[in-house]
Structure formats: C-alpha cells, structure tokens
Structure 1
Amino acid sequence: MIKNTTYNFVKNVEILSLVVIITITISSTSYFNYQKKNTNQNLYDFVNNIYLKKTLNNIFDNFEPKNKKIVHRINSGETIDKILQTYSIDTNQINEIKKNISNKFNLNKLNTKQIIEFRFDSINKKIYDLTLQISNTEKIYLKRDQTTDRFVEEIIIIKLNKDILYKEDKIKQSFYQTAQNQNIPGQIIDEFARIYGFQIDFQRDIKKDNDNSFQVIYEIFLDENKKIVENGKILYANLLLGEKNYSLYYFDQPGSEGHYDKNGKSIQKALMKTPINGARLSSSYGMRKHPISGFRKKHEGTDFAAPKGTPIVASGDGIVVKVGWAGGYGNAIRIKHNSTYETMYAHLSKFAKNIKKGTRVKQGSIIGYVGSTGNSTGPHLHYEVMVNGKKVNSQILNLPSGKVLTNKEREIFETVKIKMDVIKSEKIIGFN
C-alpha cells in the first residue's frame, strides 16, 4: 500500500511539473510574441498545435476519476434511455439494461420518487453496476459479470423499521374531515370506515348533538432516514358515539385474522352496511314519489348521494354475475355472494379495472365509481340487496353474527387486548 501511495505521489508530482513547464512556455512565448507585436496570431498557432492538445488531454485525463458514480433522481417525463444517454452510454448497453429491468418492473411506471444509481468507466463508458428502487421495500440491482460481460439482476430487499402511531380527536363535522385534519392517511381512514361499516352508518349514526370521538393505533414503516414510506394495519380502533363505545382489536392468528370486539366476536359479516364511504343517504327503501316520473312507487333499494367518481366497494365476497348497461339503472353491477345473498350497484360512471362477468371480488374491494347514468337526477349510488331472490331493506337487514373466538384463541386474544390497552394508555398520557 505504501509502495502504491509513493508511486501515485511521484506520478502526480511529474504531472504538476509538466503543467508548470507548459504554463511557463506559453507565458514566455506569449510575452515574446507580444514584444514582436504578433501576439494574436502566434498564440493562436501555438495553442492549436496538435501535440500540445494531446499533451493537455492526457494530463487532464489523469485528473478525472476513471470510475464515476452517478446518483440521479428521476424527473417528470424522463426515461431510462434519456438518463443514460446524458452520460454517453451506448444504445446496446441501454437496451440490455432495459431488458433486465423489464423482467421485474414496468419502465412505463417510472416516477419522480425513484432514484437510479450506477457506476461506469468515464473513458470507455461501460457501466459496472446499476440500482433502481422500484418500491418502498425493493431495489433492482444489475451487476456486470466479468466472465460473460453481461448484466446479472437480483432483487435487494430494503429493510424498513416498524413503529406505531396513535391518533385521537373529537368528531366535529364528520369522521372523514376530522381524520383528515389529524393527517391520518387515506388508506387508514378507508380501513377504519370499512371495519366499522358492518355496524355503523357514518352519516346517520354519528349525530352532531352527541359527544362523538375516535381513537386509532396503526402501524407505520420507516426507511433509513426515518421517513414514513408505508402504512400497515389498524391494531386498535375505538368509536365513542354518545354513550355507546365501540372498541375493536386486530387479531393475527392464522385462519382467524381480522378485527374483533372486546368480547372476542368478529365484526366481519356477510355484507357491509354501506358499500360507499362518506356518502349521504338520499333516499331510503320503501314508498316514495319518483324524482323523474312524479308517481308514487316502491323504491326497492337505498340511494347514497356522493360526488361523481367516488369509489364504490363490494359489500361482501362474491362473484360478478352481471356487469354493463341495465336500462334505467344505467351502468350496473350484480354480485352473487352465496346461495342466500346478492347485491346490485347502479348508475355508475364507470367500472373498476378488470371487473367483468365471472370476476371474484373481495369484501371492501373497489368495483366501480359513482355516476348518474340511466334514469338519474344527479350523481348517486342506487344499492339493492336480495335475500333468496327477494329485494329487502339493506339498512335494517339482520345478518348472521361473525365468528367468536374460543379456547386457546380466546386466551391469546385476551393477551393481545391487554397489550393494546396498555399501549393506548401510554400514548394518551404521553409516555412514548
């Protein structure tokens, strides 16, 4: 190592000496020619001397590092081609890199949150390795194989640190607005609404004259810079509506995953009470004056008014049996949940991607978006529930209770419940 250091020192001294000699030569020549009043022409001839150019290029090549590392944050509209061409990388290398990355990631989905890093030879422009972050938890790493001179790809898992956040507030206008004011992510707000959607109607059950509040503890995942990059599960949730308290705990035992009340009863039922979040109940099931015809007739569903484009979810697991135009219902979807229950969603502006006849859907998954197609006076969802083929009032329908934990599972659940209650108490009084 000492030998290499001495060599490099001597080499650098030689280079600097050569630079000094050339500088003195140029200065002397310039001064001499100035004295002869031929400064401009002689200096031009001297600087453009081909041998001098080669000498200078060789000198400055020694100062420039041969191996360069580039860290590039992707800008809007940039492509892999454009980025690598900026550094004079040839087309063959670019195509090989794109082919390798495309095996794991769609390059059309590059975004401004991504960073690309690569090392390359600044003289022959050959890339040694390249890294592209493709998600919060994964990177694609390409490394040139010295034997084959081809790139070998692998996925690098990014380690995230898990933590929890506690949020609480009094519900002033609506749960959604209050939660947003607390900077709770949309994903968590939607999940909160979903798990309470089996027993609570967020429009009708939350009365403004009551003392209403909520609490929630949910997982967060942080990167090496302690920035939140992902949100996880809701571990604990509580709704206080007047004098009624609704507490839910997450239980993660295989085969019994889900949220349970304080008595170990699952909140999961065959159907959710409402298949849309934040909507206003605009027309109930029963006799009414039809808004278009003006005649009194039975309204065999429930209408929820919401802005056009509001997501609509499947109220239960099932199979899509009909999807498309349905006359006065406009764009509609019909789902068969089991031998007893079916649901229908009408007046949609459009269907969710991949929704077609025969598609299996999960409870809470988006199936379409609010619209005003068919016989409609404004954007809303018309929702119907059929029990054994007969249309019923979805808002008063009594569904079978969910699973109740027993024996060993109940013991484990009680331990989980105590742990979450302790964490909640510590968060409230500010211990951590």
Structure 2
Amino acid sequence: MILNFKQLKKLLKKNIEIFLLFSLMLITILSTTFYNNYKNSVNENYKNIINNIYFQKSLNHIFNNFLPKYQNIEHKISKGESFNKMLNSYLIPKSEIEKIKKKINNDFNLNILKEGQIVKFTIDVSNNKKITNFLFPISRTKKILLTKNFETDLFEKKIIITNLTRKVIFKEEQILQSFYKAAIDVNIKPNVIIEFARIYGFQVDFQRDIKINDKFQIIYEVFEDDNGKIFETGNIIYANLKLSGINNPLYYFDDKKSGGHYDTNGKSIKKALMKTPINGARLSSSFGMRKHPIDGFNKMHRGTDFAAPSGTPIMASGDGIIKRAKWCGGGGNCIQIKHNSTYQTIYAHMKNFAPGIRVGLRVKQGQVIGYVGSTGISTGPHLHYEVIENGKKINSQSLKLPSGKILLGKERQIFEIEKIKIDVLKSEMIIGLS
C-alpha cells in the first residue's frame, strides 16, 4: 500500500519520538565516522612529519643547544672502590676505560687506589659518553693528564708536576687557655700541632703539666706552590715549651741513621712509649680500685681513662705491630699494639679507626690510629688506655722508661753545628718579627 502525503504526515506525527531518536542515531554515526577519518588523517600527517629526516636533525640540533654537550666530573674515591667501578658508575664504555688504564698503568698501579683521591674528567654526552680529558693524581705534586686526540680516538699523556718552594715559619705565643687554642690562634696547621704534641708527648702531659701563661715557640717547614698555596707541611725544625719559666728546647737533627728531635745535650726525646697517647685530654679515671660507673660496685680498673671530645685523634704510644683492631665487647672498638717482647698497649671505646688501620700493620710512634668515642660499655667519650708489661697490666702513668739515644762522636759534632745554625735562624726570625 502506497501512503500519500497526508497519511505519511499523520504517521510521523504519531511516531515523532521514534523518528527523532532514529535521526539522532544517524547523525551520531555520521559525525563519529567523519571525526575518526579526520583524526586518522591528522595522525598520519604527524607521523610523516616526525619521521622526516630533516625534522629529526632540526630537533636534535635544538635539544643539543639546550643540553650541555660536556659533563665535568670530580669523583672522590671511596673505601675499597676500584678504578673500573668508578668509571662504570658513569656508564663509560669499556673500550674507553681500557684505553685510560693502558696509559696510566706505566706510571701508577691502578689496583691500589687511595681512599679520598680526587679524580677529574670530562664526558662528551653527545658522543656515547666518551671521555675527552682525564686528570689522575699520582701524588700531591704529580698528576697525569690524558687528552683525547679526536683524529685517532686515542689519549695523549702529559705529566704535570707542581713545583713547590720550601718556606720556614716561626711562631710563638702565650698559652692562656690551652696549647691547642693558642696554636690555632696564631694560624698553625692542625697537623703541625699534633706533631708538636707528639714530640713532647714523651715528657709532657698537655692536660696537667701546662699552666696558664706558659709559652711556646716553633719553627717549621711548609711547601708552597707558585700561587703561595701551602701544599704540605714539613719537619718541626725547632720547638720550645716554656713550662713554669723553664725552657725545654728541642732541635731537629736531619740524619738518615739518627734523625729525630734532640734536647740541648744531644739526647733523643724518644722513649719506648709516650706518656700520653692523646692530646688535650683530662685524666678521668686512674689505674687501681674504683667504683665502676655503670656496674655500681668496686672493682680493679686496670687502665687509665682520658676524657676528651668525640673525634679527638688517638696516637700509637710506640712503634709496633697491630695485633687486634675490632669490636671488643665492653671495650667497644679497640686496638692492641705489640711494641716488643716486653710491652703491649690497648686503646678502647674508639669512635672509629683511622683509615688503613688493620691487623698486621706496622705503626710508628705518634701515628694516629683512631678517634675518641664512647662505644661499648661507656658513660661518655673517652679513651681507655692500658699498658701490658710481660703479660701483666700496669699503671701507665707511673711507668719509668729509659731515655732515648744520646748522640756521640762525629754525630754529636754535626748536631752541635746544626743546633747553632738553628739558634741563629731563630734569632733572625725573632728580630724580623720585632
């Protein structure tokens, strides 16, 4: 049956809702189809642009201008770190590492890196992280510089030596609070202060023997570069600690066989053991019976306690071999040194050990072996110090040790001449200061 216009109009009017819904669905389908076709067309155009080689080159050029091409690295060697591990941490290609090692190995054993060494190098970020230059320190005054030859892709080596000038410095000061503070006030380097305390440590207790208004004098060496920067310090040539008005001068005798510090009579100040293995400490507990500060009952204290700020350097009281360097229970971190067939010393409650300290290491008298702490059973930072004589613990403060070597014959004659020269030098430097 064929519908006329009036019938169709009547039918639409009767089913208007169905008609509108159908129309809406049709419009939606057409719009979605159109939009998807348009979106696909736009995406295709984007792909063509991005994949265009000229566009990619332009993009790389823009980013290279924003990002630095070279990265400068200053790396500090950590404990136990190897050469390969250091460079691998910066994703340096293996081939680059081998080239560098081949150049350096002739001058330095890369299997023995020192903790704290500073290595400097530059990485070409835009060229597979290749190294353009590499600066490696052999010593404080000698460095190896490797520079990349871009034509051969190999390194060219140059040895850089810093020329140092020896300079002699004279200082004197009155002690108003402590020796350490007085020395710092006149700009004496900390390592020189420690050495000064070491050479007097055989006969002077810096906590109990020094009084207000005592004085000191010191002549010591420093080595400067061309810019006047101090690279290192040398020997203490002359020292005088005036205690209660009495002078105690010491002279440095530069001799391969008998080198060291001697008094005016040519007697070495060195003894088998130092009187005090720590500078600026307070005797907090003597050898003998005492009420234990933690246990609370009386017991024998077979050592001497020196109270000092945490981190204060502890010195080996004599030459010897380290027999123990580990955790010792109530003693915390402790070190035991065997000096000879007669004497041994123990140092307990350390915060930590000095770098390189280990069992079997031979140490020198006055060498820093650790730092004051409060590890183990302890009420505060201090050093517990023990002296063992023929297997028996004894009072270190009442120990009588023989004096050191006395210069005789030709050695004494040479020393007397050197002593006169040092006295003249001291007089000239005092006049120069006045």
TM-score, normalised via structure 2 length: 0.70
1:428 is matched with which residue? 430
Q: In terms of mean alpha carbon deviation, does 246-255 or 348-357 score higher?
A: 348-357
Bigger Rg over Cα: 2
Could you list the per-position Cα deviations for residues 221-267 of structure 1 after superposition, in whole angstroms to 9, with x for gaps in the alignment?
A: 11112222221111111100112211111111111111111111111
When the two structures are aligned, how many residues end up with a matched partner?
Answer: 353
Q: 1:299 to 1:165 in 2, by over 3 A?
A: same
1:194 is matched with which residue? 198
Please tell me the root mean square deviation across aligned C-alpha atoms, in Å.
Answer: 3.9
In 2, are the aligned partners of 1:115 and 1:133 still within 8 Å (CA)?
A: no
Residue identity opposite 1:202 in structure 2: F
Q: Give the whole-Å Cα distance in 2 for the aligned partners of 1:390 and 1:134.
A: 46
Identity of aligned pairs, percent? Answer: 58
User: How much does 1:116 deviate?
Assistant: 7.2
Q: Secondary structure at the match of 1:231?
A: strand
Q: Give the whole-Å Cα distance in 2 for the aligned partners of 1:147 and 1:416.
A: 59
1:176 is matched with which residue? 180
Q: 1:235 to 1:154 in 2, by over 3 A?
A: same
Q: Secondary structure at the match of 1:395?
A: helix
Q: Give the whole-Å Cα distance in 1 for the aligned partners of 2:236 and 2:95.
A: 46
Q: Secondary structure at the match of 1:245?
A: coil
Q: Give the whole-Å Cα distance in 1 for the aligned partners of 2:188 and 2:74.
A: 28
Q: Secondary structure at the match of 2:101?
A: helix
**1:66-145 equivalence runs, <5 A:** 95=97, 98-99=100-101, 103=105, 104=108, 111=118, 135-142=139-146
2:300 pairs, out of 290, 298, 301, with 298
Q: In terms of mean alpha carbon deviation, does 323-332 or 362-371 score higher?
A: 323-332
1:412 pairs, out of 411, 414, 422, with 414
Q: Give the whole-Å Cα distance in 2 for the aligned partners of 1:388 and 1:107.
A: 37
Which runs of 5 or more residues in structure 2 are unaligned? 1-53, 55-69, 78-85, 125-129
1:266 is matched with which residue? 268
Q: Give the whole-Å Cα distance in 1 for the aligned partners of 2:114 and 2:357.
A: 25
1:280 is matched with which residue? 282
In 1, are the aligned partners of 2:99 and 2:154 still within 8 Å (CA)?
A: no
Q: Give the whole-Å Cα distance in 2 for the aligned partners of 1:302 and 1:213.
A: 28
Q: In terms of mean alpha carbon deviation, does 152-161 or 270-279 score higher?
A: 152-161
1:365 is matched with which residue? 367
In 1, are the aligned partners of 2:121 and 2:131 still within 8 Å (CA)?
A: no
Q: 1:147 to 1:214 in 2, by over 3 A?
A: same
In 1, are the aligned partners of 2:117 and 2:137 still within 8 Å (CA)?
A: no
**1:339-418 equivalence runs, <5 A:** 339-418=341-420
Q: Secondary structure at the match of 1:244?
A: coil
2:169 pairs, out of 159, 165, 190, with 165
1:248 is matched with which residue? 250
Q: 1:326 to 1:94 in 2, by over 3 A?
A: closer
User: How much does 1:284 deviate?
Assistant: 1.4
2:208 pairs, out of 185, 204, 208, with 204
User: How much does 1:95 deviate?
Assistant: 4.2
Q: Secondary structure at the match of 2:252?
A: strand
2:223 is matched with which residue? 221
2:42 is matched with which residue? none
Q: Give the whole-Å Cα distance in 1 for the aligned partners of 2:300 and 2:313.
A: 27
Which runs of 5 or more residues in structure 1 are unaligned? 1-49, 51-69, 121-125
2:82 is matched with which residue? none
**1:31-46 equivalence runs, <5 A:** none
Q: Is it true that 1:151 corresponds to 2:155 in the alignment?
A: yes
Q: 1:328 to 1:146 in 2, by over 3 A?
A: closer
In 2, are the aligned partners of 1:100 and 1:153 still within 8 Å (CA)?
A: no
Q: Give the whole-Å Cα distance in 1 for the aligned partners of 2:330 and 2:95.
A: 58
Q: Give the whole-Å Cα distance in 1 for the aligned partners of 2:374 and 2:420.
A: 48
1:38 is matched with which residue? none
Residue identity opposite 2:404 in structure 1: G
Q: Secondary structure at the match of 1:269?
A: coil
User: How much does 1:197 deviate?
Assistant: 0.5
User: How much does 1:142 deviate?
Assistant: 3.6
User: How much does 1:389 deviate?
Assistant: 1.6
Residue identity opposite 1:207 in structure 2: K
Q: 1:344 to 1:99 in 2, by over 3 A?
A: same
1:317 pairs, out of 316, 319, 332, with 319
Could you list the per-position Cα deviations for residues 8-52 of structure 1 after superposition, in whole angstroms to 9, with x for gaps in the alignment?
A: xxxxxxxxxxxxxxxxxxxxxxxxxxxxxxxxxxxxxxxxxx9xx
Q: 1:297 to 1:158 in 2, by over 3 A?
A: same
Q: Give the whole-Å Cα distance in 1 for the aligned partners of 2:332 and 2:136.
A: 45
2:23 is matched with which residue? none
Residue identity opposite 2:409 in structure 1: N
User: How much does 1:293 deviate?
Assistant: 2.6
In 2, are the aligned partners of 1:330 and 1:375 still within 8 Å (CA)?
A: yes
User: How much does 1:127 deviate?
Assistant: 9.7
Q: 1:296 to 1:132 in 2, by over 3 A?
A: closer
Q: Secondary structure at the match of 1:402?
A: coil
Residue identity opposite 2:273 in structure 1: L
Q: Give the whole-Å Cα distance in 1 for the aligned partners of 2:286 and 2:409.
A: 42
Residue identity opposite 1:425 in structure 2: S
Q: Give the whole-Å Cα distance in 2 for the aligned partners of 1:215 and 1:180.
A: 13
Q: Is it true that 1:331 corresponds to 2:351 in the alignment?
A: no
User: How much does 1:357 deviate?
Assistant: 3.1
Q: Give the whole-Å Cα distance in 1 for the aligned partners of 2:285 and 2:367.
A: 24
Residue identity opposite 1:183 in structure 2: N
In 2, are the aligned partners of 1:101 and 1:140 still within 8 Å (CA)?
A: no
1:25 is matched with which residue? none
